[in-house]
Amino acid sequence: MQMKAAVLEKGNPILDIRDVDEPPLGDNEVRVAVEACGICGSDLHITLHPIIRIKHYPLIPGHESAGHILEMGKNVTDLKKGQRVVISAGTSCGKCPACLAGRENRCPEVGVLGFDRDGSFAERIVVERRNVFPLPDGVPIEQGAILADAVSTPYHAIRFVGELQPGQTVLVAGCGGLGIHGVMIAKALGAGRVIALDVDEGALSNAQKAGADETYNARELKKTMQDIRKLGDLDLIADFSGVYRNAEYLIRGLNPGGRYVMVGLGRGELGFSMPTYMIYKELSIRGSYGSDRRTMPELIELLSTGKLNLSLSITSMHPLSEINECLKKLDSRAENPIRYIIQPQRLN
Ligand SMILES: [Zn+2]
Ligand SMILES: [Zn+2]
C-alpha cells in the first residue's frame, strides 16, 4: 500500500508531497491514521534554517500528532480499531534502566519522531504501542496532537523538573510555541503569579491571552529584572528562549530554594562567575529535555476536564499540500502564530 507524505530530501528546504510505501506493522506496533500534526519551530531547523543534523534521508518530518488506530500488531490487545490516540514525540529503546523506570527521555537511544525516524506529516504512521496514549472523545484531535511536544515539553519542565508548588511565582522566559504553553501550564498547576518575558510584542500579547499576570519586554534585561524583583521574588524560572548569556540577571531574581530550568536549545555560554548567592540561597540550575511517561496521562486529564484549554494555541488548520506555505508563515511570524496544524487526511 502507498500513502501520501511530505518528504525531506538532503539539501532541499522544500518538502516534496508524494506517494511513499507504507511501513510494515510489527507485533508490538499500531498503525495510526494521522488526523492532525502540529508544525513546530524545530521543523524550521531541518527545512528553511537547517541546523539540526539528520542521519537518514529521505525523511518524513512531523512529531506532534494524533489520530485514530487503523490496525494493531498481534501483541497489542488493549486498544481498539478507531480509538483516538496521541502519539508521543520521543522514541526510546524500551529496555534500558531509564526506559524501564519510565524516564524514556534519559534513554541512551532517545530520539524524536520526524528527526530520527519517519514522522507524522503522512496519511499514516506505524509506532510502538507504548508511544500512543488514548484520547477521550470530547477533546478536539488537534488539541490532542500538540500535547506531544508543544505542551508536554513545558509541562515536564515546570511540573517535574521545576517542581512548581501551588502559590509559587513563575517567570517564563521566551513565549514562543513552547513558552506560551509554559504560561498556561503554570496557571493550570496553581502558580500564584506568572510573569512572561520575551523580546517580541506579539509573543507577549499571546502570553497575556494565555493568562500571564504580567508581561515584560526583555530588550533591556538588566533593567527589566530589577523591575520584576521590585514586585517580589521568584521561585521558578522556565527558560525557553535558548539565549543564555543573560542567565545571571534572571537567576539573581530567584528566592531561596529557587530553580532555573533551561529548556530552549541554544548555543553559547551561561556566562557568569561563581556567585556566592547560589550557595547562600541554595539555588539550582537544571536542564529539562522532552518529557517522560508521567506527563501525557496528566495532560490528557487536564485537557479533558477543561483545566487546560488549548483553543488559543490552534492558529489554523491546513491540508498536507499547504505544508511548505505553513513553514514559511511560521518563519515570518507575520500572523503571530502559535501552532499551524496539518491534517494529512485532507489532501486539498
Ligand atoms: Zn517540536
Ligand atoms: Zn531506553
Tens digit of pLDDT for each residue in 106-160?
999 999 999 999 999 999 999 999 999 999 999 999 999 999 999 999 999 999 9
* Distance between Cα 276 and ligand 1 center (Å): 36
Catalogue the long-range contacts made by 138-143 (C-beta closer than 8 Å, 24 or more residues apart): 138/304, 139/300, 139/303, 139/304, 140/311, 140/314, 141/35, 141/36, 141/66, 141/67, 141/84, 142/35, 142/36, 142/38, 142/66, 142/314, 142/317, 142/341, 142/343, 143/303, 143/310, 143/311, 143/313, 143/314
* Distance between Cα 90 and ligand 1 center (Å): 10
Which listed ligand is nearest to 104 at the C-alpha? 2
Structure confidence at residue 178 as a pLDDT band (50, 70, 90)? very high
Check residue 88 and give its pLDDT.
96
Average pLDDT (85-90) is 97
* Distance between Cα 10 and ligand 2 center (Å): 29
- Confirm if 143 and 310 have CB atoms less than 8 A apart: yes
Check residue 265 and give its pLDDT.
85
Show the cell assigned to 135: 484520547
* Distance between Cα 188 and ligand 1 center (Å): 21
Which listed ligand is nearest to 107 at the C-alpha? 2
Check residue 142 and give its pLDDT.
98
* Distance between Cα 223 and ligand 1 center (Å): 32
Of 53, 50, 66, 68, nearest in space to 14 by CA: 50
* Distance between Cα 92 and ligand 2 center (Å): 5
Task: Provide CATH 3.40.50.720 ranges for the chain.
Answer: 163-287
Check residue 268 and give its pLDDT.
77
33, containing H or E segment: strand 29-38
Residue 72 phi/psi, 5° resolution?
-120, 145
Percent of the chain topping pLDDT 70: 99
Candidate from 21-25, 191-195, 215-219 with smallest mean pLDDT: 215-219
Check residue 230 and give its pLDDT.
73
Which listed ligand is nearest to 93 at the C-alpha? 2
Structure confidence at residue 192 as a pLDDT band (50, 70, 90)? very high
* Protein residues with C-beta less than 5 angstroms from the ion ligand 2: 92-93, 96, 99, 107
d(CA 38, CA 71): 23
Residue ranges of E strands in 207-335: 214-217, 234-239, 254-262, 284-287, 314-319
Check residue 347 and give its pLDDT.
72
Greater pLDDT, 194 or 252: 194
Give the global pTM: 0.94
Structure confidence at residue 287 as a pLDDT band (50, 70, 90)? very high
- Average pLDDT over the chain reads 94
Which listed ligand is nearest to 146 at the C-alpha? 1
Query: Which listed CATH number (3.40.50.1820, 3.30.750.200, 3.40.50.720, 3.65.10.10) goes with 163-287?
Result: 3.40.50.720
* Distance between Cα 205 and ligand 1 center (Å): 22
Instruction: Give CATH superfamily name and number for 2-150+291-343.
Output: Medium-chain alcohol dehydrogenases, catalytic domain (3.90.180.10)
Task: Provide CATH 3.90.180.10 ranges for the chain.
Answer: 2-150+291-343
* Distance between Cα 107 and ligand 2 center (Å): 4
Check residue 247 and give its pLDDT.
86
Average pLDDT (296-303) is 96
Q: Which residues contact 344 (CB under 8 A, 6 or more apart)?
A: 4, 5, 34, 35, 37, 120, 121, 122, 123, 320
* Distance between Cα 206 and ligand 2 center (Å): 37
Tens digit of pLDDT for each residue in 195-219?
999 999 999 999 999 999 999 998 8
Angle of the 179-188 helix axis to the 201-209 helix axis, nearest 10: 20
* Distance between Cα 330 and ligand 1 center (Å): 13
Tens digit of pLDDT for each residue in 218-275?
888 788 888 887 777 799 999 999 888 878 888 888 999 999 999 998 877 887 777 7
Check residue 30 and give its pLDDT.
98
Which listed ligand is nearest to 105 at the C-alpha? 2
Secondary structure class of 49 (helix, strand, coil): coil
Which listed ligand is nearest to 39 at the C-alpha? 1
pLDDT over threshold 80, residue 5: yes
Check residue 246 and give its pLDDT.
78
Tens digit of pLDDT for each residue in 45-75?
999 999 889 999 999 999 999 999 999 999 9
Greater pLDDT, 252 or 40: 40
* Distance between Cα 60 and ligand 1 center (Å): 14
